[in-house]
Structures are given as C-alpha cells and as structure tokens.
Amino acid sequence: MTDANKARFNAEAAQWDSNPDIQQATRLAHKAYLSHLPSDPAILSTYDILDLGCGTGLLSLALAPSVRSVTAVDAAEGMIGALEAKLTAEDAAKNVLPICAMLEDPDDERIAVDPVTKEKVTGRRFDVVVSHLVLHHILDLRKLFATVFGCVKKGGKVMVTDFENFGPEARKFHPESKMDGVERHGILRDEIKTVLEEAGFVDVKIETAFELEKQVETEPGSGVMGPTMVFPFLICEGTKL
C-alpha cells in the first residue's frame, strides 16, 4: 500500500463507520465468512483469525464472539486508533488485538502476540486469514498472498472478500474523487484464482458471496450520488496443506 493510500485511510477513519454501505458490506461479508467457516462452534471457537486490513475492526468485532482470537492488522494508524477506542468499552471483546502494521512478513513479531494470553509465540500462525474490501487497494497481489500464505497454519485457510471486476461498470463502485489508491476496479475471478494457486494454496474456490446495492454517481465525476447499482462480491478461499 502506498503512503498516499495510508494518508487517505487515516483521513477517512473517523467517518468510516458512519458509511451505511460499509456497514452493510460488513454484515453481508460476516454472514458469508460464517457460512464458509466450520459450523460446529466447538471447532470454530478454537480458531485464531488474522484480519488483514481490518480498518476500524467492523469484521474483526463481528467474528470475535465465534472464534478464539482475532489479530486485527491495519497499516493506517487512524483505523487502528478507532478500533482501539471501541475496545476500551467495558463490554468490548477481550480477544481482539489491534496491530498497526503494514504486514509484509509472516514472522513480523507484532502478530506473534496471542490476543488472549498476551504472550509472544515465536512463529505464530493462524487458522484462517480473512480480508474484506482490501484487495482492490493492493498493487502487488502476488506479494500480498505470499505473505498471507506464510501466515496460515498447515491445514489452515485464506478467505478473502472484495467486489468483483465484472466489466467497465465496476469502476462506478468508487466516485471519481475517491480513485486515489484504488489499484483495480474489483477482483477478477481467473486472476485471483491463479494468484492464490501460485502462492501455494490448494482447493482454491472463487464464489459469488453476496451482492451489495449502493448509490453511484449520476455521471462519472459529477459528485452527485444518484441511481443505485448492484455490485457482486466474491469470496476467495484456499487451503494450505
């Protein structure tokens, strides 16, 4: 992620949760993740999750009650600050650890801390790495998934969600004023499948997870939000043997 991108997310952090499209996308993504994770609570409650590009922690906090722990990583300190503020509430989740980091190394010591025991576990790995609405901001997907592959336990999984690049109309997902740091207009099914396989994941499946209806600009660059459009989201899954 570029510095410009980081600056953008720092600036947006305070308003992030007030965007109803983001809230709705998280609700739908959470449902999709739960339908792809083990349905047996006795199994799911043992899972350690890494949420890469967690933002203000909307998905991390939604998953937290179902799993053992969530390590919530984001490169933008504003996003992590917003998550830290939520975690100060008395009834907040106790198993979510926010980490401000641009994750590029599976052995990064910052993700080695167990959110539950607070102890550092050298070579700590995760049952599942999730990441929602992040891939369209990533220039080098191969590099990212090499890191993700390294973070997953043997037998563990990657599960990522983002909107699909279904053609030129996918560009309308963002208003023209918000194109800074958008590296692609959604993800391409074939491309992401190849990237996951090249990273080393097997049993790679790319499926439509849900559809998000959101307002788009009346004309590109008008700044006036008008008609709604439906954007398909993909869930991309792979296993590390």
Q: Is 209 in the site for ligand SAM (CB under 6 A)?
A: no
Residue type, 191: E
Residues 101-130: x where in contact with ligand SAM by CB under 6 A, - otherwise, as a string: -xx---------------------------
CA–CA gap between residue 86 and residue 16 (Å, rounded): 13
Q: Is 152 in the site for ligand SAM (CB under 6 A)?
A: no
Residues 43-62: x where in contact with ligand SAM by CB under 6 A, - otherwise, as a string: ---------xxxx--xx---
Judge contact between 200 and 147, C-beta under 8 A. Answer: no
Considering beta carbons, is residue 125 or 137 the nearer one to ligand SAM? 137
**Residue 18 Cβ, how far from ligand SAM at the closest point, in Å?**
12
Considering beta carbons, is residue 183 or 217 the nearer one to ligand SAM? 183
CA–CA gap between residue 194 and residue 201 (Å, rounded): 10
Adjacent-strand bridge partners of 237:
159, 205
Helix (H, G, I), strand (E, B) or coil at 49: strand
Residue 48 neighbours by CB distance under 10 Å:
21
Residues 68 to 97 in contact with ligand SAM, rule: CB under 6 A: 73-76, 79
Tokens representing 188 are 């391409």
Which residues contact ligand SAM by CB under 6 A?
A: 1, 6, 9, 22, 26, 52-55, 58-59, 73-76, 79, 102-103, 132-134, 137-138
